[in-house]
Amino acid sequence: MRLTAIHIDGFGIFHDLDLVRLSPGLNVFLGDNESGKTTLLAFIRTILFGFPPGQRRENLYPPLKGGRHGGRLTMLGQEGEEYLITRHQGRKRGPVTVTLPNANQGDEEVLRQLTGAATEDLFRSVFAFSLSELQSFESLNSQAVRAAIYSAGAGVGRVSLAKVEKNLQDSIGQIFKPGGRKPVINAILRELQEIDLTIGQRVAEIDRYDELRDELDQMAVEIEGEKSRLDTKRHRLERVRLLQKGWEDWVALCRIQAGITDLPKIEVFPTDGVNRLEKLQERNRLVSDHKAELAQKIEQVEKDLDRLEPRPQWLMAAEQIRLLERRLERFSAASQELIEIRPRLENQRKSLENDLQGLGPEWQADHLDSFDASVSAREEILRYLEGLEEARDGKRESERNFVSATSMLKQAKARAQEAEKGVRQISEPQEKDPRVLLKRRQRLRSLRNLIQTGGDLHRRSEQLKERQEDLQKQKDGLNQQMEGIATTPLWPIIIAALLSAAASLAAGWYRDLFTVATVATVGLLLTVTLLWLSLGQRNRQKAQKDILIQQFFEIEEKLDSLSGKEGMLLAEISANDQEIVRSSRTLGFRTRPSIEEVDQAEAEVEAEQETLHLWQPVQQRYQECREETERRQRELTESEQDMGERQKTLQELERQWSNWLNQAGLAESLTPNSALEVMERIRSLRQQAGSLRELEERLKMLERLVQHYQEEAKSIAQQLEARDILTEDVETVVHGLVSELEKEEDAQRRRDALQQQMAEYKRELEQNGVQLQEVEKELEVLFTEGGASDEAEFRQRANLYEQLMTAKGAFEQHLRNLENLGGRGEDQIRFQEELHRSSPERLQAEGDELYQEVQELEEKLAALQEQFGRLNERREQLESADELSVLRQRRKGLLAELSETAKRWSAITICLRFLQEARQLYEKERKQPVLRESEHFFRTITKGRYHGIVAPHGEENIEVVGANGSRYELGILSRGTAEQLYLSLRFGYIQEFGRRARPLPVVMDDILVNFDPQRARASISAILELAQRNQILFFTCHPETVSMIKEFDGDVPVWQLEGGVMRSG
Amino acid sequence: MKSFSFIHTADLHLDSPFAGLRQVDGSVASLIKDATFRAFNNVVDLALLHKVDFVLVAGDVYDGSDRSLRAQLKFADGLKTLAQAGIRSFVCHGNHDPLDGWSASLRWPEGVHIFGPDLESIPLALGGEDVAVVHGISYPESQIDDDFGKGFRRQGSQPFQIGLFHCSLGRDPAHETYAPRTMEELVSADLDYWALGHVHTYRVLKDGRPFIAYPGNTQGLHIREPGPRGCLVVQVDGQGTVKASFEPTDAVRWLSKQLRINDLETEADLIEALERCCDEIRHEAQGRPAIARITIVGRGSLHTVLRRPQVVGDLTERLRETGLESAPPLWIEGIQVRTSTPIDLESRRKSADFLGEVLRLIENSRQNPKGLQEVISELYDDRRGRRFLQIPAEEELIEMLGEVESMCLDELGAEESE
């Protein structure tokens, strides 16, 4: 990782500061004191690791010149990918945002991944250090730093090994500490011990359980004994107390018994006798009084009855009078209606008469009924109406038709004359049938064709003949050729053979064997050659001849075919000629015509056709006009006839209508429509007459009703001899009748009521007599029961009896008291005997003594029972106690917890042990390369003065080896050399860390101040070497240091810091 | 022969504490305290319900060393209830409650027979008919010879003969061996029914003649005794044919469940799965309170979450809260995390980095665990520690190395390799 740009929003003296294009290697920052070098270092550390936590008293570098507290670092990764790390002060250590190359945003977690395993401590002591850190070896050699360096990139990831170890150590301590009290296991062990102690105690108590039970059993027996004694004493004491209580009753009892003996003996007497006697006497009196009262009442009723005289005829006429009363209303209504109806009737009668006059002078009301106004009559009128109208319409129509036909005929005649003129202007053609002309023309055309075909056939016949001749010639040629091809003869060969044989013989003749042989050979060869040639020639000739023969036959075939065709052609020609002759005759040619003649004839026919074409329409028009004139003439005649018929029909209908009117008794002048109106009027009058008749009947009915009612009322009044109410006014009569009747009915009701009451009184009187007898009987019985003959004796005996009863009651009371104390029967006898034998004084003395004894016994028993209760309670406690169960359960639980916790402790302890072992191994393994790297830098810086750095086994410290091989401890090194050693060690660590994790930028703050110029130069060389792998920001306030660096590498960028402002040097 | 029925029970372990419960809520504590008693009461209730003719108790009624008076009295009460209902009881003592152990001098009700140190045969008549004989023997002391109780033989004319004995069958590594018997020995005694005790898990060893069974204990006492616990209700018909049915009596049921995390992604998934797990437990508890352990296994991304401190504690707390609210209550004894890291340990071990170094050291130790005991001796050799703790054996330590390995991975922030 390296920085490419820094942006400070606000941090210490910096505000809105931008540092861009930082070099990947060494960057030098030159600035005076307080120019902001340390602030810049702190800024980088803060952005990477966060603001110092609240509790740490550290310079927070508040933004003195404004801006938001914080800023941004732009860093490049190994592959050149860019990360933006932005942090501002806020919650905890200030929230950070990491913008990843893919533009995603990450948080603190992502940042830790970017900085590898570097912790803030590591960064502070190894990567970003000032002179003060450089001078302390401890900060460098601390375990935390070592662990961080060695665990960097070691798969330990983001955690610090030292922290892990510390956490584990803490966990172990929290679980168990030898001799501790608070750790979990220590607490469990302590509780277990306590529980065991308690369990021991409880078990010891349970061991006593049997003993306790025996003790309880013995005690129970003892308690029972004491209880029994106490019971006896208590019993006797109770008896004595009872005897004491009974003493007075017993004395009284004895006294009463003596008193009873003196009284006379009355065994029985009616219970409550005197009272009963008095009650009976009282009842007797009441019944007698009631009797007198009843007699008086009966007398009064009889008097009342006598006063009421009945009129039975009124009651008998009650129904008639009630009926009259009910009909009275109807009667009144009828009278009223009569008064109204009479004038109305008169009016209607007059009105009807007037209306009848309107129909005709002789029309009377009875005519109305005889007139036929039925639906069928009405229908008939309608039929006449329609028939007459129809006949008149028909007559008018036929008249119109006649006029129109006359005019049409006139027009048609004019047109016919015109057409006749046209016909006369055109000459009449010979042939008037166009079909005849057409047929003739067709025949002429086919004749022309036939003549033409004849010519063609003659030409083809000639061509055929030429072809035949041609083929005949070829045939002859072939014959000649065939004759020309003679077979090559064999004779030359034979001659040659003979010649060669002769030559050889000739040579042999000359004894020249060689010549003989040669000649013979040559001759033989010649002969063979000739033979071969002539054979070949012969073969070729034969083939040639075969071809010619072939051709010859082919020509022959063709000739045959041609002669066949010729025959057919001739036949065709002859048929054609015949047809021409026949056709010519039909067409009227005397000789065989030429084509021109035929054409001439066709032209003539064509001219005829044209003439016919002109003449035909004119002729047709003329014909049509003539036909129309005839038709019109016929139509005129027909319409004339029709007109006459219609006139007749109308007259007939009018005659029938007059007849009908006559029959109906109506004026003949009436039209059907007027007749319909008259009919309607008659109908309405008929209704009027009907209603008049009804009214007359109603009047009669009402008159009858009124008269009848009046007669009836008067008749009833006379019957009842009610002269005082018999007046002319019927209503008064009826009301009088009703009033009298009501009076009579009321009197009747009162009579009935009095009679009923009388019966009631008489019944009561009867009952009263019976009651009186009963009372007297009861009195008699009472006296008999009381053993007395009269009231006085009864009362005396009653007195005596009461005295006796009182004494007996007292006796019973005392006895009951004694029985309550001493029981009944035998017990009572014993009780009284005991009383008889005793005296109050003796009883008192015995009671006191017993009471004392009982008190003592009770106290003893209570003490025993209390003791028993205590022991029993203890026993019950032991029996029901679940404390042991609870303790044992708790013990088991604790053991389980102990076992689990111990296992956890063991696991953590073992885990820690492994981590420690691994770390030691790892450190040992890693230490040597670090020391070697450091040695290299140390040698460079000290210009070879020191050769090596060693870490003695098992020691934390290191020693340096001089050029002569002698070892020096750190303590004896000069300050400068020590600083150079620490610088070298840091470089070694940085190299080692870079190998294991992402290399981080290194920040050095004026570290060369204690170095002599030579070593300073050497150091710069070492720094430049380091800068090849790690980016370095080198801060200094010494311009000469910058010059020195520039001597090594003039391209090293230098930035000048001045009061919080940066400029590139 | 008259048909009859009886109950065969054993290992009541009355008033024995539940093991392994590190902490319990108050309401659960009272449930636990009475669980063994309630289980025994359930046996008594079953006897009354089925109107059995007698009850056989095959040893280990209580733990003599506990000196629980309560246990003995409650046992006597139960037998009294049975006696009042006319049900006889036959009791033999086992290794936990031998005759020489402490016991209160109790008065046993009529109809109870406690077997002595010598083999006895008690005839049993039902309705005037001799139907059975119970042969039995009690442990005179907790340590007995292997030959103890070797005289069981068919005797007398009773058609049905029962052997009541507390013993091991063969040598079972899960239980301490007492009076070991072989199947052949039991069969050759020519009895009809062997009512055995000692093994805590219900087991029918032979169905037929003789019928040999362990009914198991009446109440599970720790997480290694999960599932239904109870007794046998035995029906014997006129032909002497045995029909035994197991009836659960446990008042509190121990249950153990495994939960795989392989398919789970988020903590919410995990919580949901745990809640489902609890539902299953409740179902299996069949309407009684339950104590359950959930072991989370498998390999997955949740491994890391579960290793975070407090996560398991919080989850346990959460499940306990809901468990206590439910009726009947469910107590989560603990959530054990046995998940494997998704990290490929084999390849990490080979890497040259620090973690590789640590893992190699652990692996070496696994191969050669000597010295591990030394590392943790500080606790186990402690004056008080050694009274209650036993240093883990090497095998246990090797097992522990898995945990150590996970711890190292967590502490060193190792992440799943690509």
Lowest mean pLDDT across A151-165, B148-162, B246-260, B337-351: A151-165
Q: Which of B224, B248, B272 is the last residue of a domain?
A: B248
Tokens linked to A582: 């026949």
Q: How confident is residue A883, by pLDDT bands cut at 50, 70 and 90? A: confident
Least confident of A509-518, A566-575, A993-1002: A509-518
Do B133 and B115 share a structural domain? yes
- Distance CA(A361)–CA(B81), nearest Å, equals 140
d(CA B397, CA B403): 10
- In terms of Cβ atoms closer than 10 Å to its own Cβ (0-12, 13-18, 19+), residue B302 is buried
Q: Which residues form the domain of B349? A: 345-418
Tell whether B218 and B275 lie within a shared domain: no
Nearest chain A residue (CA) to B356? A155
Q: How many Å lie between the alpha carbon of A179 and the closest alpha carbon of chain B?
A: 9
Return the residue of A nearest to B405 by Cα: A911
CA angle in degrees (0–180, nearest 5) for A918-A921-A923:
105
Residue B275 C-alpha, separation from nearest chain A C-alpha, in angstroms: 25
Q: How far apart are alpha carbons A1054 and A1062 in whole angstroms?
A: 10
CA distance A74 to A978: 35
Residues 373-402 of B with CB under 8 A from A: 375-376, 378-380, 382, 384-385, 387-389, 392, 397, 400-401
B81 touches B111 (CB < 8 A) = no
Backbone angles phi, psi at B85, to 5 degrees: -90, 10
Model confidence at B54: pLDDT above 90 = yes
Which residue from A155, A886, A917 is facing B361, i.e. has the nearest CB? A917
- In this prediction, residue B210 has a pLDDT band, given cuts at 50, 70 and 90, of very high
Query: In 10 A of CB B273, how many CB atoms?
Result: 18
CB A892 within 8 A of CB B19: yes
The answer to whether the CB of B192 falls within 8 A of the CB of B211 is: yes
Mean pLDDT of the region A81-93: 86
| Nearest C-alpha in B relative to A165 | B411
CB contact under 8 A, B412 and A157: yes
Q: Does B138 share its domain with B207?
A: yes
- pLDDT value at position A153? 47
B357 touches chain A (CB under 8 A): yes
**Cβ B202 vs Cβ B246: under 8 Å:** yes
Tokens 């009945």 belong to residue: A310
Selection from B96, B143, B150 nearest residue B119 by Cα: B150
Q: Is A918 close to B33, i.e. CB distance below 8 A?
A: no
Rounded Cα gap, residues B360 and B349, in angstroms: 6
Taking a contact as any Cβ pair under 8 Å apart, which residues of chain B between 37 and 76 contact chain A? 66-70, 73
pLDDT band at A727 (very low <50, low <70, confident <90, very high): confident
| DSSP states along B327-393 | SS-EEEEEEEEEEE-SS-HHHHHHSSSHHHHHHHHHHHHHH--TTHHHHTHHHHTSTTHHHH--PPP
Name the residue facing A878 among B69, B105, B385 (closest C-beta). Answer: B69
3-state secondary structure of A264: coil
Gap from B139 CA to chain A (nearest CA, Å): 21
What's the rounded mean pLDDT across residues B362-383? 86
Per-residue model confidence (pLDDT) at position A585? 86
Distance CA A208, CA A877 (A): 13
Q: Which residue of B has its CA nearest to A915?
A: B358
Give the one of A151, A896, A908 whose C-beta lies nearest to B21's C-beta.
A896
For A217-229, the pLDDT digits (tens) are 899 999 999 999 9
Asked if residue B212 and residue B244 are part of one domain, the reply reads yes
Query: Nearest CA to B324 among B33, B31, B39, B36?
Result: B31
Q: A727 φ, ψ to 5°?
A: -115, 180
Is residue B337 domain-shared with residue B349, that is, in the same domain?
Answer: no
Distance, in Å, from the CA atom of B302 to the CA atom of B293, rounded to the nearest integer, reads 19
Beta strands (DSSP E) in A255-406 are none
In this structure, the answer to whether residues B81 and B215 fall within a common structural domain is: yes
* Reported confidence tier of residue B416, pLDDT bands at 50, 70, 90: very low
Q: How far is A72 from chain B (nearest CA, A)?
A: 29
* Residues B279 and B211 grouped into a single domain: no
Q: What is the pLDDT of residues A668-717, one digit of tens each?
A: 778 888 888 888 888 888 888 888 888 888 888 988 888 898 888 888 88
Inform me whether the pLDDT recorded for B415 exceeds 60. no
Chain A positions touching B411 (Cβ under 8 A) are 159, 164, 167-168, 911, 915
User: For residue B119, which phi and psi values (nearest 5 degrees)?
Assistant: -60, 130
Which residues in chain B are closer than 8 Å to A899, comparing Cβ atoms? 389
Q: Domains in chain B: how many in total? A: 3
Question: Across chain A, what does the average pLDDT equal?
Answer: 83
- Whether A910 and B29 lie within 8 Å, measured CB to CB: no
Is cis: bond before A929, omega within 30 of 0?
A: no
Average pLDDT rounded to a whole number, residues A1030-1037: 88
The answer to whether residues B260 and B328 belong to one domain is yes
pLDDT (average), residues B183-211? 93
Using CB atoms, pick whichever of A159, A908, A917 lies closest to residue B413.
Answer: A159
Please check whether residue A77 is in contact with residue A92, taking contact to mean a CB–CB distance below 8 angstroms: no
Chain B residues whose beta carbon lies within 8 Å of the beta carbon of residue A882:
33, 70
Residue B348 contacts A where some CB pair is shorter than 8 Å: yes
Q: Kindly report the CATH number assigned to the domain that includes residue B155.
A: 3.60.21.10
Boundary (domain end) residue, out of B287, B316, B342: B342
Interface test with B, best of A915, A917, A921, A995 (most B CBs within 10 A): A915
- What whole-number distance in Å separates Cα of residue B107 and Cα of residue B105? 7
Asked whether the beta carbons of A898 and A193 are under 8 A apart, the reply is no
Query: Taking a contact as any Cβ pair under 8 Å apart, which residues of chain B between 88 and 107 contact chain A?
Result: 102, 104-105
**What mean pLDDT do residues A922-944 have?**
79
Quick: pLDDT tens for A545-599: 888 888 888 888 888 888 888 888 888 888 888 888 888 888 888 888 888 888 8
**pLDDT, mean of residues A938-949:** 83
Q: Which of A158, A207, A211, A910 to mutate to test the interface with B (most CBs of B within 10 A)?
A: A910
Mark out the alpha helices in A942-1051 (DSSP H runs): 975-996, 1013-1026, 1039-1048
B246: pLDDT strictly greater than 90: yes
CA B21 to chain A, closest CA, distance in angstroms equals 5
User: What does DSSP say about strands A14-19 and B290-299: parallel, antiparallel, or unpaired?
Assistant: unpaired
In chain B, residues with a C-beta closer than 8 Å to the C-beta of A908 are: 407
Residues from chain A contacting residue B388 (CB–CB below 8 Å): 189, 192, 895, 898
| CB atoms near residue A655 (< 10 Å) | 9
pLDDT of amino acid B417? 40
The whole-number average pLDDT for the span A987-1005 is 80
**Rounded to a whole number, what is the distance in Å from the CA of B363 to chain A's nearest CA?**
11
Q: Ranked by mean pLDDT, which of A61-65, A721-725, B227-231 comes out on top?
A: B227-231
Token readout for A9 is 């929003």
**Whose CA is closest to B126, among B2, B221, B272, B306?**
B2
Nearest CA in chain A to B408: A911
CB environment A542-572: b (16+ within 10 A), e (fewer): eeeeeebeebbeebeebbeeeeeebeebeeb
Q: What is the pLDDT of residue A147?
A: 59
Q: What single letter denotes the amino acid at residue B267?
A: E
Nearest to A1011 by CA among A935, A940, A932: A940
* Chain B: closest CA distance from residue A224 (Å): 22
Pairing verdict, β A70-76 and A1061-1064:
unpaired
Helices A672-719 & A730-785, crossing angle to 10 degrees? 50
Domain end (from B313, B342, B371) = B342
| pLDDT at residue number B418 | 32
- What pLDDT does A953 receive? 52
The pLDDT of residue B53: 95
In which residue are the tokens 């003129």 written?
A: A421
Task: Looking at the structure, tell me whether residues B271 and B315 fall in a common domain.
Answer: yes
**B326 in Cβ contact with B366 (< 8 Å):** no
Q: Are B9 and B91 contacting, i.e. CB atoms less than 8 angstroms apart? A: no
Give the three-class secondary structure for A679: helix
CA separation, residue A391 to residues A385, B44, B279 (Å): 10, 132, 114
CB contacts < 8 A (A, B): 170
- CB-based burial of residue A869 (10 Å sphere; 0-12 exposed, 13-18 middle, 19+ buried)? exposed
Compute the average pLDDT of residues A1018-1046: 86
CA of residue A921 relative to chain centroid, distance: 69
Residue B90 and residue B132 in one domain: yes
A chain contacts of residue B73, beta-carbon cutoff 8 Å? 879
Judged by CB atoms closer than 8 Å, whether chains meet at B23 and A889 is answered as no
User: Is the Cβ pair A161, B15 closer than 8 Å?
Assistant: no
Find the residue in A nearest to B35 (Cα).
Answer: A885
Contact criterion met (CB below 8 Å) for B296 and B306: yes
My answer on whether B216 and B350 are in the same domain is no
Rounded Cα distance, B13 and B31, in Å:
16
- Distance separating alpha carbons of residues A282 and A736, to the nearest angstrom: 59
Q: How would you class A335 by CB atoms within 10 Å of its CB: exposed for 0-12, middle for 13-18, buried for 19 or more?
A: middle
- How many Å apart are CA A155 and CA A167, to the nearest integer? 18
In DSSP terms, A98 is beta-bridged to: A85, A106
Give the pLDDT confidence score for residue A916 in this predicted structure: 83
Report H helices in B59-148. Answer: 69-84
**Residue in chain A lying closest to B365 (CA):** A914
Q: Nearest residue on chain A to B381, judged by CA atoms?
A: A178
CB pair distance less than 8 Å for B18 and A897: no
> What's the rounded Cα separation, in Å, for the pair B11 and A641?
149
Tens-digit pLDDT profile for residues A101-141: 888 888 877 777 777 656 677 777 778 877 777 776 655 66
pLDDT 10s digits, B293-332: 999 998 888 888 888 878 889 999 999 999 988 888 999 9
Q: Are B71 and B62 in contact (CB under 8 A)?
A: yes
Q: Do A882 and B18 touch (CB under 8 A)?
A: no
Taking CA–CA distances from B359, the nearest residue in chain A reads A914
pLDDT at A563: 86
Top residue of B388, B394, B400 to mutate, by most chain A CBs within 10 Å, is: B388
Nearest chain B CA: its distance from A144 CA (Å)? 15
Same domain, B118 and B23: yes
Contacts of B18 in chain A (CB under 8 A): 889, 892
Residue B211 has pLDDT above 60, yes or no: yes
| pLDDT tens column, A159-214 | 567 678 888 888 899 999 888 888 889 999 999 999 999 988 888 888 788 888 88
Name the residue in chain B with its Cα closest to that of A876: B70
Give chain B's length: 418
Q: Which of A156, A210, A911 is the best residue to mutate to test the B interface, defined by the most B CB atoms within 10 Å of its own CB?
A: A911
Helix (H, G, I), strand (E, B) or coil at B57: strand
Q: Is the pLDDT reported for residue B228 higher than 70?
A: yes
